[in-house]
Amino acid sequence: MTRYLLNRAAGAVLVMWAVATLVFFMMRIVPGDPFAAMLFDSADPAAAEALRQKYGLDQPIYVQYVKWFWNALQGDLGTSIYGSRLEVSRLVMEALPRTLSLAFVSFVIAIIIAVPAGLIAATRRNTGLDHSVTVVAFLGLSMPDFWLGIVLIILFAANLQWLPAIGYVPLSEGFWPWLKHLILPSIAAGTAFSAIVARMIRSSMLEVLSADYMHVARSKGLRERTLIVLHAFPNALIPVVTVMGIAFAILMSGTVVVENVFAIKGLGRLLIVSIVNRDYAVVQGAILVVSAIFILTNFLVDMLYTVIDPRIRYSK
Amino acid sequence: MTKRTRKSHLADRQRLAETLKDAYDFDPRDPLVGLTRDQLSGSSLDRRTVLRLMAAGGTLTAASLLPGIGGPGTAHAQAGGTLTCGWAGVGELTTLDPHQINQVLLFQISSNIFGGLTHIDANLVAQGDLAESWTISDDGRIYTFKLREGVTFHNGDAFTADDVIYTYNRAIDPEKSIHGAVVGNVASVDKLNDLEVQFTLKAAQASFLVKSLERSSGRAMAIVSRGAIEQMGDQEYGLTPVGTGPFKVLPRQLGQGVTLEKFENYYDPERPKLDKVVIRPIIDAEPLAAAMEAGDIQLIGGNPVAPELVDRFLANPDLVVDEVAAPGFQSVWMNPHRDPFKVADFNKSVDELKQEPGFKVRLAIAKALDRERYIKQAQFGRGRPAFGTINPAMGFFFDEALNESSEQTFDIDAAKQLLADAGYPDGQGFPEIKILTTPAQRREVQVIANILSRNLNIKISLDTKDFPVLIDDFNSMRWDMCRLGSGGDFDPDDGLVDWMRSDSKFNGRTRDKEAMPFGFFADAKVDALIDEQRIAPSLDERKRLVQEANKITSDKVASAFLFHPADIQVRSTRVNFPAESRIPGLVDLDRVTIS
């Protein structure tokens, strides 16, 4: 197991290095001068030159890369060159709790909707209930999150005035203020995932329910509820957990559209704004963090397999 | 109406009539419109002087004299309370350091935090802010300011002449500031004593008070706190800057918007009225509208309100939609170094230029650009046609007649004839050209392409690029056509000096100068007129020179001028926004109250 963990850690470092390197060079290949927009209003060519020197952008690209890589190894991701000029690590760490909150609540909402819906659809196969769940799931998948977000805002914020339309309040300011700002964006972000997970639970459950050991369990006289909850559902979880892991990783890397609609400055928005502004250091730093989140989530999902199915063992 | 209020109403009407009579009491042939040179330049302009200038410029109405917006739905609120604002079209308010900001939506906020030596009023005339009064030497090169006494920064430090000098030195340091060029005409700044400071200019500059010293538009001379910067460092100062303005910034995290709090020791004890202002950036139009309708926010600042939302706001009885002319212009630029727009030299008369095929095409496009249709379809009826850089918010300098007298005046038959004369009858053989734009402007640029296709039977495709790429290309003249314009133009220099001089900062700044000796436009007469208006001895003379330069740029099609945007402010009826604070392009909240 230790060897397996070391292998995974080494693989993770390699993937992060590859991603960071790719992003570093891609950002410099795409057209657009990071100072052109910032200094558009300034007639002073010295200002652009001074900034280029200050941020080392006047140096050859390989020198920039080596410097950036060396600093990143020591935990220094550089500073933003556009606007705030704050450290990238600070910008990322300030955006992360918002993304984490949104991802967590979206994930919980997705699970709350998906698990019962998937189970009902599987156990009531080919009934009206199953068809209803299927239709609702397809609706959930088909609705663009920005559209759903706007509909939710108009309905619950503008008309009913039950929940705030926009913004984010940190958990430190209270649980309810935090949660009520997250309910609408989380429904918008989580609906599509709940539909995917519900469909996955349904198909996985149907496969398990038709397995021989389920027939044996049934013939032993087990109650249907015990059969489903204790025997079928845990065995149907492996593919579901894989999908849930991917969903969580995507939510964690920032749902840009939902963040825009609800004016929540999370990782996704930080990344998009930085790409548009050609804020190299922030893009590189944020993508490094996003790739770390993806790798960590994948790893946790793999570990979860061993909990769900004790037969699975990692030895290499 | 009670007897007492009826009486006071009559008194108000009488006072209004007398004020109007006094404002118009001058000989129209008098270049100083009955004012003395001292009144115009010796100190901050008084109310009577401003009203006289507005009357002379034809922009004075009875409505200008009313103390508030008036009309139904206006709040009558007391001081205090919290105003929550949505800042449109922006995801993050990164820095508020005046030396680092370059967006109108940011200097709208900084104008509430910082003081400057001057600050423009609702008529874009410079008034004393931290300067109590000033004198100008006869040659127009030396400005001596008497500073307001007893002013303090938000951190308690006293404001003195040293702070003016510190701000100037920081403004010209390219590592600290991107606005050094704004004060590039300053030769030196000298402290005469703690409360007197003297600016010596390299050359006279009529726009100096508005363009260089104004607290929000110039940004270079928004007075920063040396003590705070030294204590906090530049980065933290950008997050929670310390100024002398009516509001101070509460500690904040990026991504959480900005909260401003009343500065109790502001030099005017009557201001600010509000206890607190919460500013929330909202990037998308629909959530912004929903937040307004839900009452989550009570005022919209930031980027212009999306025009498609305005009618919806107008239909809402709980909201006030207040529209004034915005200080800016928008244009369709044509590259004179590329076919079919080639013009080798603009230094010819318009008649001579009209003999050249490239100029004929430029003029044909400018004349076929149905601006009314564009404004209706692309801007939902908001804004007015543009024929030059000088915008209607500049009132006194704006040339109302240019829409009739410009060569660019809409004339579809003449446009078709010009195109035919250039060798493209009914658009036949016209090359397919691209118009450079940003993703956000795609819809409205498509309207332009459709209008030109319909009117001239030519095909224009869209070339969409992110803003930094567009700017890079624009500066290097790598485009056929480009849709770009200017905002925050409070002085004629913002249009003429910044855009229309052969060496202006936007005029092909990074082009290959050997291949392209000039940028998008260069005309020696326009350059001379621009230089002359900067040292004009009187406002009327300056106005004449500005309008002449403006007309030449229009007639010679420096660009196909498109429209002057409208500044639309949307607010709750609970918010009272006095007329004197309704400065085009800005959102000054110091006199605002909420019920």
Best CA proximity match to B265, nearest among B293, B252, B246, B283: B246
- Quote the pLDDT of residue B400: 94
- Quote the pLDDT of residue B24: 60
| Model confidence band, residue A316 (pLDDT cutoffs 50, 70, 90) | low
pLDDT tens column, A198-233: 989 999 999 998 888 888 888 888 888 888 888 888
Best CA proximity match to B51, nearest among B117, B122, B119: B122
CB contacts < 8 Å between A and B, how many?
A: 164
First to last CA, chain A: 7
Minimal-distance CA residue of chain A relative to B171: A47
Q: Give the integer Cα–Cα distance in Å for B53 and B45.
A: 10
Q: Is the pLDDT of residue B454 over 70?
A: yes
Interchain proximity B286–A261, CB inside 8 Å: yes
Interchain proximity B180–A94, CB inside 8 Å: no
Q: Give the integer Cα–Cα distance in Å for B358 and B338.
A: 9
The total of other beta-carbon atoms located within 10 Å of residue B582's CB is 19
- Quote the pLDDT of residue B68: 35
Question: What's the mean pLDDT in B222-241?
Answer: 94
Interchain proximity B291–A276, CB inside 8 Å: no
User: Which residues on neighbouring strands pair with residue A22, listed in sequence order?
Assistant: none
Q: Give the integer Cα–Cα distance in Å for B465 and B29.
A: 51
Q: Is the pLDDT of residue B488 over 60?
A: yes
pLDDT tens column, B65-109: 443 333 334 444 567 899 999 999 887 788 899 998 888 899 899
| Model confidence band, residue B2 (pLDDT cutoffs 50, 70, 90) | very low
Question: What's the mean pLDDT in A128-153?
Answer: 87
| Model confidence band, residue A297 (pLDDT cutoffs 50, 70, 90) | confident
Question: What's the mean pLDDT in B264-287?
Answer: 92
| Model confidence band, residue A254 (pLDDT cutoffs 50, 70, 90) | low
Instruction: Select the residue of B174, B255, B287 nearest A261 (Cβ to Cβ).
Output: B287
- Quote the pLDDT of residue B43: 43
First to last CA, chain B: 22
- Quote the pLDDT of residue B33: 56
Q: What tokens does A312 get?
A: 């699975």
Q: Give the integer Cα–Cα distance in Å for A166 and A104.
A: 18
- Quote the pLDDT of residue B477: 96
SS3 call for A279: coil
- For the CA atoms of B157, B162, B167, B173, the dihedral, rounded to the nearest 10 degrees, stands at -130
| Model confidence band, residue B7 (pLDDT cutoffs 50, 70, 90) | very low
Best CA proximity match to B403, nearest among B394, B414, B392, B393: B392
Instruction: Select the residue of A37, A168, A262 nearest B468 (Cβ to Cβ).
Output: A37
Contacts of A80 in chain B (CB under 8 A): 94
Q: Is the pLDDT of residue B190 over 70?
A: yes
Question: What's the mean pLDDT in B351-367?
Answer: 97
Q: Is the pLDDT of residue B577 over 80?
A: yes
Length of chain B counted residue by residue? 595
CA–centroid distance for B429 within its chain: 41
- Quote the pLDDT of residue B31: 47
Q: Give the integer Cα–Cα distance in Å for B294 and A213.
A: 56
Best CA proximity match to B151, nearest among B183, B191, B110, B114: B114
Mean of the per-residue pLDDT values of chain A: 86
With residue B462 as reference, give the H or E element that holds it: strand B460-464
Question: What's the mean pLDDT in B158-180?
Answer: 93
| Model confidence band, residue B39 (pLDDT cutoffs 50, 70, 90) | low
- Quote the pLDDT of residue A65: 93
pLDDT tens column, B363-420: 999 999 999 999 999 999 999 999 999 999 998 999 999 999 999 999 999 999 999 9
For an interface test with B, the pick among A42, A54, A101, A261 (most B C-beta atoms closer than 10 Å) comes out as A42
Amino acid letter for position B491: D
Q: Is the pLDDT of residue B26 over 80?
A: no
CA distance readout (Å), A286 to A46, A88, A295, A304, B38: 30, 8, 14, 27, 58
- Quote the pLDDT of residue B151: 97
pLDDT tens column, A5-24: 888 888 888 998 999 899 99
- Quote the pLDDT of residue B445: 97
Strand spans (E) along B44-173: 82-88, 118-120, 126-128, 131-136, 142-147
Q: Give the integer Cα–Cα distance in Å for B237 and B490.
A: 27
Answer for the pair A169, A190: CB distance below 8 angstroms, yes or no: no
What ipTM score was computed for the predicted complex, to two decimals? 0.71
Instruction: Select the residue of A43, A50, A158 nearest B290 (Cβ to Cβ).
Output: A158
- Quote the pLDDT of residue B137: 93
Q: Give the integer Cα–Cα distance in Å for A56 and A155.
A: 50
Task: Please tell me whether the overall predicted TM-score, pTM, comes out greater than 0.80 for this model.
Answer: no
B54 against A279, higher pLDDT: A279
Minimal-distance CA residue of chain B relative to A181: B296
Answer for the pair B314, B371: CB distance below 8 angstroms, yes or no: no
Contacts of A171 in chain B (CB under 8 A): none
- Quote the pLDDT of residue B3: 37
CA distance readout (Å), A75 to A25, A69, A81, A270, A281: 20, 10, 18, 19, 13
**What is the percent of chain B with per-residue pLDDT over 90, rounded to a whole number?**
70
Best CA proximity match to B213, nearest among B527, B591, B542, B490: B490
Question: What's the mean pLDDT in B561-568?
Answer: 96
Minimal-distance CA residue of chain B relative to A257: B284
Length of chain A counted residue by residue? 316
Answer for the pair B95, B107: CB distance below 8 angstroms, yes or no: no
| Model confidence band, residue B59 (pLDDT cutoffs 50, 70, 90) | very low
